[in-house]
Structure 1
Protein backbone atom coordinates (compact mmCIF):
# COMPACT_ATOMS: atom_id res chain seq x y z
CA UNK A 1 0.00 0.00 0.00
CA UNK A 2 1.38 3.41 -0.95
CA UNK A 3 1.80 6.18 1.62
CA UNK A 4 -0.12 9.30 0.77
CA UNK A 5 1.59 12.62 1.24
CA UNK A 6 0.22 16.10 1.04
CA UNK A 7 1.09 17.88 -2.18
CA UNK A 8 4.14 20.16 -1.84
CA UNK A 9 5.81 18.29 1.03
CA UNK A 10 9.27 16.81 0.99
CA UNK A 11 10.09 13.17 1.43
CA UNK A 12 12.36 11.80 4.16
CA UNK A 13 13.29 13.04 7.62
CA UNK A 14 10.84 13.23 10.47
CA UNK A 15 9.40 16.61 9.65
CA UNK A 16 7.15 17.44 6.74
CA UNK A 17 7.44 20.99 5.51
CA UNK A 18 6.09 22.59 2.39
CA UNK A 19 8.65 22.73 -0.39
CA UNK A 20 10.75 25.90 -0.21
CA UNK A 21 10.09 26.62 3.45
CA UNK A 22 13.22 27.33 5.44
CA UNK A 23 13.97 24.86 8.19
CA UNK A 24 14.52 27.55 10.83
CA UNK A 25 11.62 29.87 10.03
CA UNK A 26 9.21 30.12 11.67
CA UNK A 27 11.12 28.83 14.65
CA UNK A 28 9.05 26.32 16.54
CA UNK A 29 10.63 24.19 19.26
CA UNK A 30 9.84 20.53 18.78
CA UNK A 31 9.51 17.71 21.25
CA UNK A 32 7.70 17.11 24.52
CA UNK A 33 7.59 19.95 27.00
CA UNK A 34 8.71 22.58 24.49
CA UNK A 35 6.59 25.68 24.13
CA UNK A 36 6.40 28.47 21.64
CA UNK A 37 7.93 31.80 22.68
CA UNK A 38 5.51 34.54 23.64
CA UNK A 39 4.64 36.98 20.89
CA UNK A 40 3.93 39.96 23.14
CA UNK A 41 6.75 41.45 25.21
CA UNK A 42 6.89 40.43 28.84
CA UNK A 43 7.42 42.89 31.68
CA UNK A 44 10.91 42.81 33.12
CA UNK A 45 11.27 41.51 36.63
CA UNK A 46 13.08 44.06 38.81
CA UNK A 47 15.48 42.78 41.41
CA UNK A 48 16.34 45.67 43.71
CA UNK A 49 16.11 49.41 43.23
CA UNK A 50 19.65 50.41 42.26
CA UNK A 51 19.04 51.25 38.57
CA UNK A 52 16.39 53.76 39.63
CA UNK A 53 18.16 55.39 42.56
CA UNK A 54 21.87 55.02 41.67
CA UNK A 55 23.81 58.27 41.89
CA UNK A 56 27.41 59.04 41.06
CA UNK A 57 29.52 60.74 43.70
CA UNK A 58 30.34 63.72 41.50
CA UNK A 59 32.41 65.51 44.14
CA UNK A 60 34.81 62.55 44.42
CA UNK A 61 34.92 62.20 40.66
CA UNK A 62 35.71 65.92 40.33
CA UNK A 63 38.55 65.61 42.87
CA UNK A 64 40.06 62.63 41.06
CA UNK A 65 39.75 64.35 37.68
CA UNK A 66 41.53 67.44 39.00
CA UNK A 67 44.38 65.36 40.44
CA UNK A 68 44.83 63.35 37.24
CA UNK A 69 44.56 66.44 35.04
CA UNK A 70 47.56 67.94 36.86
CA UNK A 71 49.47 64.64 36.66
CA UNK A 72 48.80 64.13 32.95
CA UNK A 73 49.69 67.71 32.02
CA UNK A 74 52.90 67.45 34.05
CA UNK A 75 53.80 64.12 32.44
CA UNK A 76 53.08 65.51 28.96
CA UNK A 77 55.40 68.47 29.60
CA UNK A 78 58.10 66.19 31.03
CA UNK A 79 57.97 63.83 28.07
CA UNK A 80 57.98 66.75 25.63
CA UNK A 81 61.15 68.12 27.27
CA UNK A 82 62.74 64.64 27.17
CA UNK A 83 61.80 64.34 23.50
CA UNK A 84 63.48 67.66 22.77
CA UNK A 85 66.66 66.61 24.59
CA UNK A 86 66.85 63.07 23.16
CA UNK A 87 68.31 62.38 19.78
CA UNK A 88 67.74 59.66 17.24
CA UNK A 89 69.20 56.34 18.14
CA UNK A 90 68.31 53.30 20.18
CA UNK A 91 65.21 53.36 22.37
CA UNK A 92 64.28 55.42 24.29
CA UNK A 93 64.65 57.95 21.53
CA UNK A 94 62.92 61.14 20.48
CA UNK A 95 59.98 59.29 18.91
CA UNK A 96 59.31 57.26 22.06
CA UNK A 97 59.22 60.34 24.28
CA UNK A 98 57.04 62.20 21.76
CA UNK A 99 54.60 59.29 21.70
CA UNK A 100 54.30 59.31 25.50
CA UNK A 101 53.93 63.10 25.51
CA UNK A 102 51.04 62.83 23.02
CA UNK A 103 49.46 59.99 25.01
CA UNK A 104 49.56 61.98 28.24
CA UNK A 105 48.21 65.05 26.45
CA UNK A 106 45.31 62.94 25.14
CA UNK A 107 44.54 61.65 28.63
CA UNK A 108 44.68 65.22 29.92
CA UNK A 109 42.15 66.21 27.25
CA UNK A 110 39.82 63.38 28.25
CA UNK A 111 40.13 64.40 31.89
CA UNK A 112 39.35 68.02 30.99
CA UNK A 113 36.22 66.94 29.12
CA UNK A 114 35.21 64.86 32.14
CA UNK A 115 35.56 67.94 34.34
CA UNK A 116 33.24 69.86 32.00
CA UNK A 117 30.66 67.05 32.16
CA UNK A 118 30.90 66.97 35.95
CA UNK A 119 30.43 70.75 36.12
CA UNK A 120 27.31 70.52 33.94
CA UNK A 121 25.84 67.69 36.02
CA UNK A 122 26.51 69.46 39.30
CA UNK A 123 24.86 72.61 37.93
CA UNK A 124 21.83 70.53 36.94
CA UNK A 125 21.59 69.11 40.46
CA UNK A 126 22.38 65.51 39.55
CA UNK A 127 24.94 64.95 42.30
CA UNK A 128 24.30 63.44 45.69
CA UNK A 129 22.52 65.61 48.18
CA UNK A 130 24.32 66.31 51.42
CA UNK A 131 21.35 64.85 53.34
CA UNK A 132 21.78 61.51 51.55
CA UNK A 133 25.26 60.96 52.97
CA UNK A 134 25.63 58.69 55.94
CA UNK A 135 27.86 59.89 58.80
Structure 2
Protein backbone atom coordinates (compact mmCIF):
# COMPACT_ATOMS: atom_id res chain seq x y z
CA UNK A 1 0.00 0.00 0.00
CA UNK A 2 1.50 3.29 -1.07
CA UNK A 3 1.48 6.35 1.13
CA UNK A 4 -0.54 9.19 -0.32
CA UNK A 5 0.96 12.67 -0.08
CA UNK A 6 -0.75 15.96 -0.32
CA UNK A 7 -0.26 17.69 -3.62
CA UNK A 8 2.59 20.20 -3.40
CA UNK A 9 4.09 18.74 -0.17
CA UNK A 10 7.83 18.34 -0.30
CA UNK A 11 9.58 15.37 1.19
CA UNK A 12 12.71 16.35 3.11
CA UNK A 13 14.83 13.39 4.11
CA UNK A 14 16.44 15.28 7.01
CA UNK A 15 19.96 15.05 8.26
CA UNK A 16 21.51 11.86 9.56
CA UNK A 17 20.79 11.35 13.24
CA UNK A 18 17.92 13.84 13.31
CA UNK A 19 14.91 12.61 15.23
CA UNK A 20 11.39 13.66 14.41
CA UNK A 21 9.52 11.94 17.20
CA UNK A 22 9.83 14.82 19.68
CA UNK A 23 8.03 18.15 19.58
CA UNK A 24 9.86 21.08 18.09
CA UNK A 25 11.83 23.16 20.54
CA UNK A 26 11.73 26.94 20.79
CA UNK A 27 14.85 27.24 18.63
CA UNK A 28 13.01 26.40 15.44
CA UNK A 29 12.55 23.42 13.20
CA UNK A 30 15.26 20.81 13.07
CA UNK A 31 16.36 21.39 16.66
CA UNK A 32 14.61 18.88 18.84
CA UNK A 33 14.65 18.50 22.59
CA UNK A 34 13.97 15.08 24.08
CA UNK A 35 11.28 14.77 26.68
CA UNK A 36 12.32 13.12 29.92
CA UNK A 37 10.15 10.10 30.48
CA UNK A 38 10.18 7.99 33.63
CA UNK A 39 11.91 4.70 33.01
CA UNK A 40 11.11 1.35 34.52
CA UNK A 41 13.41 -0.15 37.11
CA UNK A 42 15.94 -2.30 35.26
CA UNK A 43 17.74 -3.87 38.20
CA UNK A 44 16.34 -7.27 39.08
CA UNK A 45 18.65 -8.35 41.91
CA UNK A 46 20.27 -6.43 44.71
CA UNK A 47 23.90 -7.18 43.87
CA UNK A 48 24.73 -3.92 42.06
CA UNK A 49 23.60 -2.02 45.15
CA UNK A 50 25.34 -4.14 47.77
CA UNK A 51 28.39 -5.43 45.86
CA UNK A 52 31.20 -3.62 47.65
CA UNK A 53 34.59 -4.72 48.83
CA UNK A 54 35.17 -4.88 52.55
CA UNK A 55 37.64 -2.01 52.88
CA UNK A 56 38.51 -2.79 56.50
CA UNK A 57 39.50 -6.35 55.65
CA UNK A 58 41.38 -5.18 52.58
CA UNK A 59 43.27 -2.64 54.71
CA UNK A 60 44.19 -5.33 57.24
CA UNK A 61 45.47 -7.66 54.51
CA UNK A 62 47.46 -4.86 52.86
CA UNK A 63 49.10 -3.98 56.18
CA UNK A 64 50.00 -7.59 56.92
CA UNK A 65 51.44 -8.24 53.48
CA UNK A 66 53.27 -4.90 53.45
CA UNK A 67 55.08 -6.01 56.60
CA UNK A 68 55.84 -9.43 55.14
CA UNK A 69 57.16 -8.01 51.87
CA UNK A 70 59.33 -5.41 53.63
CA UNK A 71 60.81 -8.18 55.81
CA UNK A 72 61.28 -10.36 52.73
CA UNK A 73 63.04 -7.54 50.92
CA UNK A 74 65.41 -7.02 53.84
CA UNK A 75 66.05 -10.76 54.25
CA UNK A 76 66.79 -11.32 50.58
CA UNK A 77 69.02 -8.24 50.48
CA UNK A 78 71.05 -9.62 53.41
CA UNK A 79 71.26 -13.03 51.73
CA UNK A 80 72.41 -11.37 48.50
CA UNK A 81 75.10 -9.48 50.39
CA UNK A 82 76.49 -12.64 52.03
CA UNK A 83 76.23 -15.00 49.06
CA UNK A 84 78.82 -15.28 46.34
CA UNK A 85 78.84 -15.89 42.62
CA UNK A 86 78.53 -19.64 42.67
CA UNK A 87 75.88 -22.14 41.71
CA UNK A 88 72.24 -21.28 42.24
CA UNK A 89 71.01 -19.82 44.51
CA UNK A 90 73.58 -17.09 44.06
CA UNK A 91 73.72 -13.33 44.57
CA UNK A 92 71.65 -12.46 41.47
CA UNK A 93 68.89 -14.88 42.51
CA UNK A 94 68.54 -13.21 45.90
CA UNK A 95 68.65 -9.76 44.27
CA UNK A 96 65.76 -10.73 42.00
CA UNK A 97 63.76 -12.02 44.98
CA UNK A 98 64.48 -8.81 46.89
CA UNK A 99 63.32 -6.74 43.91
CA UNK A 100 60.11 -8.75 43.58
CA UNK A 101 59.37 -8.35 47.29
CA UNK A 102 60.04 -4.61 47.02
CA UNK A 103 57.64 -4.35 44.07
CA UNK A 104 54.90 -6.16 45.98
CA UNK A 105 55.52 -3.89 48.97
CA UNK A 106 55.04 -0.92 46.65
CA UNK A 107 51.76 -2.35 45.41
CA UNK A 108 50.61 -2.79 49.01
CA UNK A 109 51.47 0.86 49.75
CA UNK A 110 49.47 2.01 46.70
CA UNK A 111 46.55 -0.16 47.81
CA UNK A 112 46.67 1.35 51.30
CA UNK A 113 46.58 4.83 49.76
CA UNK A 114 43.54 3.93 47.65
CA UNK A 115 41.79 2.41 50.67
CA UNK A 116 42.49 5.52 52.77
CA UNK A 117 40.94 7.75 50.09
CA UNK A 118 37.88 5.54 49.75
CA UNK A 119 37.33 5.39 53.49
CA UNK A 120 37.70 9.17 53.72
CA UNK A 121 35.08 9.53 50.97
CA UNK A 122 32.67 7.38 52.97
CA UNK A 123 32.60 4.43 50.59
CA UNK A 124 33.38 1.93 53.33
CA UNK A 125 30.06 2.35 55.08
CA UNK A 126 27.41 -0.20 54.28
CA UNK A 127 23.88 1.03 53.52
CA UNK A 128 21.37 0.58 56.29
CA UNK A 129 18.95 -2.28 55.81
CA UNK A 130 15.28 -1.56 56.25
TM-score range, shorter chain: 0.5 to 0.7
1:97 to 94, 99, 105: 94
User: Matches of residues 68-87 of structure 1 in structure 2 within 5 Å?
Assistant: 68-87=65-84
Between the two proteins, the alignment pairs up a number of residues equal to 89
Structure 2 residue aligned with 1:122? 119
TM-score by length of 1: 0.61
CA RMSD of aligned residues (A): 2.1
Unaligned runs of 5+ in 2: 1-41
Return the alpha-carbon distance in structure 2 between the equivalents of residues 93 and 53 of structure 1. Answer: 50
Structure 2 residue aligned with 1:59? 56
Structure 1 residue aligned with 2:109? 112
**Runs (4+) off by over 4 Å:** none
Q: Conserved in 2, the CA contact under 8 Å of 1:76 and 1:101?
A: yes
Unaligned runs of 5+ in 1: 1-44
TM-score by length of 2: 0.63
Residues 102, 61 of structure 1: alpha-carbon distance in 2 compared, 3 angstrom cutoff: same
Give, in angstroms, the shift of residue 46 of structure 1.
4.5
Return the alpha-carbon distance in structure 1 between the equivalents of residues 128 and 82 of structure 2. Answer: 54
Give, in angstroms, the shift of residue 53 of structure 1.
2.6
Q: Conserved in 2, the CA contact under 8 Å of 1:76 and 1:100?
A: yes
Q: Conserved in 2, the CA contact under 8 Å of 1:58 and 1:128?
A: no
